[in-house]
């Protein structure tokens, strides 16, 4: 009895191994890292006011805030009609693995915009996403609205997540979806200088509302996909937004795939359909950022990944 309990405990621990190394507090805005702040030229960043955390579009910085009706060069869709990008934010989580199995069985590639704090908690799930050939982008370290952070914090939010993903997969991400889609010219300038492309969406399932609104009918998610695909008069393809942080939204996501297949959409990632690179090439063999940081992730070689189940 005791033995099997211990065996189970060990197995559970391996499956849920946390990311080795030293990381900032989880789910809190990442503190500035001196070595990373100098990656950008701050005099070339729009001097917009730092805003309160994003709750609605009532608050604007006066500098073209998305998703509040002003966009610049963000990717919002796939340029080619009949292309469709399935994207999932806020993971990895306990529920992601099942979704990846489903997508793999369906031979469909999706994109996961991951939260660094969740990568810390679920490195093995991130590895599975990557090994299965799905695309990975950054969704920040703490899921804070970027317009509410200083320049230095924005950089740290992105780079800590990039470093966590790199430590697990060896790839260096170059696409980002900001939490809430929230960005203005200041945020755009920083993201551009870091070599990243912003990816938003044009088809929002609003599935996350099911977490707070008991009246949210999960059938609406499939209902939206049916509506979008049966009356698609658009000149472009689409990027849909879903979330793999909650069990009910992750399960509901499976129902979209047969709907898209029946309507004969090609399921491609936002980077592929927009002909950009999701990652930096060549992939760094040692992450250059890990040595320049102010003592934060000071020894993040892939060798430290021995806890991660292969």
Ligand X SMILES: *[C@@H]1O[C@H](CO)[C@@H](O)[C@H](O)[C@H]1NC(C)=O
Interface contacts to ligand X, rule CB under 6 A = 41, 43-44, 193, 206, 220, 223-224, 227, 299, 301, 303-304
CB of 295 to ligand X, least distance (A): 11
Element housing 267 (H / E): strand 266-267
Spell out the residues 6+ positions from residue 172 whose beta carbon is closer than 8 angstroms to its own: 162, 165, 166, 279, 280, 283, 284, 287
* Residues in a beta bridge with 86: 240
Instruction: Return the one option of ligand X, Zn ion, none that residue 90 interacts with (CB less than 5 to 8 A, by type).
Output: Zn ion
Element housing 157 (H / E): helix 151-169
Residue nearest to ligand X (CB): 223
- Residue among 191, 178, 229 nearest 67 (CA): 178
**Per-residue interface string for the shown chain with Zn ion, residues 162-181, x marking contact by CB under 5 A:** -----------------x--
Instruction: Return the one option of Zn ion, ligand X, none that residue 89 interacts with (CB less than 5 to 8 A, by type).
Output: Zn ion
Q: 188: which 2 tokens? A: 């755009």
Phi and psi at residue 290, to the nearest 5° = -70, -20
> Which candidate in 134, 160, 243, 287 is catalytic?
243
- Let me know: does 197 contact 177? Beta carbons within 8 Å: no
307 is catalytic: no
Instruction: Return the one option of Zn ion, ligand X, none that residue 179 interacts with (CB less than 5 to 8 A, by type).
Output: Zn ion
**Which residue in the block uniquely carries the two structure tokens 């939204």?**
249
CB of 206 to ligand X, least distance (A): 4
Compute and round to an integer the Cα radius of gyration of the chain.
19
Stretch that binds Zn ion, among 2-10, 88-96, 167-175, 279-287 (CB under 5 A): 88-96
CB of 299 to ligand X, least distance (A): 4
Instruction: Return the one option of ligand X, Zn ion, none that residue 284 interacts with (CB less than 5 to 8 A, by type).
Output: none
- Closest CB to ligand X among residues 132, 230: 230
Q: Is 92 in the site for Zn ion (CB under 5 A)?
A: no
Element housing 204 (H / E): strand 203-204
Q: How many CA atoms, within 13 angstroms, populate the side-chain half-sphere of residue 98?
A: 14
89 is catalytic: yes
CB of 228 to Zn ion, least distance (A): 21
CB of 223 to ligand X, least distance (A): 2
Rounded to whole angstroms, the Cα distance separating 118 from 142 reads 9
Q: How many residues bind Zn ion (CB under 5 A)?
A: 3
> Which candidate in 83, 89, 90, 124 is catalytic?
89
Q: Is 116 in the site for Zn ion (CB under 5 A)?
A: no
Rounding to the nearest 10 degrees, give the CA dihedral for residues 274, 279, 283, 288: 140
- Closest CB to ligand X among residues 4, 41: 41
CB of 6 to ligand X, least distance (A): 27
Instruction: Return the one option of ligand X, Zn ion, none that residue 182 interacts with (CB less than 5 to 8 A, by type).
Output: none
- Closest CB to Zn ion among residues 89, 135: 89
- Closest CB to Zn ion among residues 106, 248: 248
The dihedral sign for the CA sequence 22, 113, 159, 288: positive
Phi and psi at residue 80, to the nearest 5° = -100, 125
Report the interface residues with Zn ion, using CB under 5 A.
89-90, 179
Residues with active-site annotation: 89, 243
């Amino acid at each position: 009895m005791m033995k099997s309990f211990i065996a189970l405990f060990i197995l559970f621990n391996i499956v849920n191994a946390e990311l080795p190394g030293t990381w900032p507090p989880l789910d809190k805005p990442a503190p500035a890292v001196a070595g990373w702040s100098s990656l950008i030229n701050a005099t070339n960043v729009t001097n917009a006011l730092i805003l309160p955390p994003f709750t609605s579009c009532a608050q604007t910085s006066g500098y073209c805030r998305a998703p509040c009706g002003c966009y610049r060069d963000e990717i919002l869709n796939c340029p080619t009609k009949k292309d469709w990008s399935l994207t999932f934010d806020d993971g990895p989580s306990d529920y992601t693995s099942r979704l990846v199995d489903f997508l793999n069985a369906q031979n469909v590639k999706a994109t996961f915009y991951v939260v660094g704090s969740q990568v810390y908690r679920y490195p093995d799930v991130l590895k599975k996403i990557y090994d299965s050939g799905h695309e990975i982008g950054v969704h920040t370290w703490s899921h804070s609205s970027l317009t509410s952070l200083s320049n230095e914090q924005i950089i740290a939010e992105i780079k800590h997540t990039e470093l966590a993903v790199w430590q697990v997969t060896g790839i260096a991400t170059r696409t980002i979806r900001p939490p809430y889609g929230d960005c203005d010219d200041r945020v755009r300038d920083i993201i551009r200088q870091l070599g990243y492309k912003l990816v938003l969406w044009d088809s929002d399932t609003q599935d996350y509302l099911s977490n707070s609104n008991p009246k949210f009918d999960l059938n609406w998610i499939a209902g939206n996909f049916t509506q979008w695909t049966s009356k698609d008069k658009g000149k472009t393809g689409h990027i849909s937004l879903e979330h793999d942080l909650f069990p009910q939204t992750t399960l509901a996501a499976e129902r979209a795939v047969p709907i898209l297949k029946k309507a004969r959409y090609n399921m491609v990632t936002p980077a592929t359909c927009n002909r950009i690179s999701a990652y930096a090439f060549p992939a760094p063999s040692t992450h250059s950022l890990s040595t320049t940081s102010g003592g934060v992730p000071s020894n993040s070689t892939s060798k430290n990944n021995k806890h991660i189940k292969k």
